[in-house]
Structure 1
Amino acid sequence: MTRARPPAAGIIAALVTAVVAVAAVWPGLVAPGDPLAIAPTQGFGPPDASHPFGTDESGRDVFTRVVHGARASVGIGLAATALGVGLGAAIGFASGLGPGAIDRALTRVVEVLYALPTLVIALLFVAVLGAGTGSSVLAIGLATAPGYARIVRARVRVVAQSEYVAYARHEGLSAPRRFGRHVLPNTLGPLVAMITLGVGQAIVWVAALSFLGLGQAPPSPEWGAMLNAGRPYIGTAWWMTLFPGLAIVCAATALTVLGRALTTGGRA
Structure 2
Amino acid sequence: MREAVSAKTVWRKRSKPLASVRSSRITAADLLLLGAGVVILFIAACAIVPGWIAPYSPTEMLTGSIMKPPSAAHLFGTDYFGRDIFSVVVHGSRDSLFIGFASVLAGGVVGGSIGALAGYAGGMVDTVLMRCNDILMTIPGILLALAIAGALGPGMVNIVLAVAISSVPGYARVMRSQIISIKGRTFIAASQSVGAPPLHIFWKHVLPNALSPLLVMATIGIGTSILTGSGLSFLGLGVLREVPDWGTLLSQGRGYLTVAWWICTFPGLAITLFVLAVNIIGDRLRDHLDPKKNASR
Shared fold (TM-score, shorter chain, > 0.5):
yes
Instruction: Give the SS at the match of 2:230.
Output: helix
Higher relative contact order (CA 8 A, sep 6+): 1
Question: Is the contact between residue 218 and residue 229 of structure 1 (CA under 8 Å) also seen in structure 2?
Answer: no
Question: Which stretch of the first structure deviates more once superposed, 118-127 or 32-41?
Answer: 32-41
- Classify 1:28/1:135 alpha carbon distance in 2 versus 1 (closer, same or farther; 3 Å): same
Larger radius of gyration: 2
Letter of the structure 2 residue corresponding to residue 41 of structure 1: G
Letter of the structure 2 residue corresponding to residue 221 of structure 1: P
For 1:83 and 1:44, how far apart are their aligned partners in 2? 39
Letter of the structure 1 residue corresponding to residue 207 of structure 2: L
Moved over 4 A (4+): 3-6
Question: Is the contact between residue 93 and residue 152 of structure 1 (CA under 8 Å) also seen in structure 2?
Answer: yes
Q: TM-score, normalised by structure 2?
A: 0.85
Question: Is the contact between residue 101 and residue 222 of structure 2 (CA under 8 Å) also seen in structure 1?
Answer: yes
**Matched-pair identity in %:** 36
Question: Is the contact between residue 69 and residue 76 of structure 2 (CA under 8 Å) also seen in structure 1?
Answer: yes
Question: Is the contact between residue 218 and residue 225 of structure 1 (CA under 8 Å) also seen in structure 2?
Answer: no
The residue correspondences of 1:82-231 to structure 2 (distance < 5 A) are 82-217=105-240, 219-231=242-254
For 2:240 and 2:113, how far apart are their aligned partners in 1? 33
Shift of 1:33: 2.9
Letter of the structure 1 residue corresponding to residue 48 of structure 2: V
Shift of 1:238: 0.5
Instruction: Give the SS at the match of 2:288.
Output: coil
Question: Which stretch of the first structure deviates more once superposed, 95-104 or 23-32?
Answer: 23-32
Deviations 1:102-161 (A, max 9, x none): 111111121221122111000111122112211100000000010000000001111111
Shift of 1:245: 0.3
For 1:226 and 1:216, how far apart are their aligned partners in 2? 11
For 1:235 and 1:256, how far apart are their aligned partners in 2? 31
- Classify 1:18/1:233 alpha carbon distance in 2 versus 1 (closer, same or farther; 3 Å): same
Question: Is the contact between residue 174 and residue 213 of structure 2 (CA under 8 Å) also seen in structure 1?
Answer: no
Question: Is the contact between residue 40 and residue 57 of structure 1 (CA under 8 Å) also seen in structure 2?
Answer: no
For 2:55 and 2:268, how far apart are their aligned partners in 1? 22
Shift of 1:3: 5.3
2:80 aligned to 38, 41, 57, which one?
A: 57
Question: Where does structure 2 lack aligned partners over 5 or more consecutive residues?
Answer: 1-19
Question: Is the contact between residue 91 and residue 243 of structure 2 (CA under 8 Å) also seen in structure 1?
Answer: no
Instruction: Give the SS at the match of 2:79.
Output: coil
Letter of the structure 2 residue corresponding to residue 243 of structure 1: F
Letter of the structure 1 residue corresponding to residue 288 of structure 2: G
Shift of 1:189: 2.9
Deviations 1:51-81 (A, max 9, x none): 0100111111100111111111011111111
The match for 1:46 is: 69
Question: Is the contact between residue 201 and residue 252 of structure 1 (CA under 8 Å) also seen in structure 2?
Answer: yes
Matched, 1:79 2:97: no
Question: Is the contact between residue 200 and residue 255 of structure 1 (CA under 8 Å) also seen in structure 2?
Answer: yes
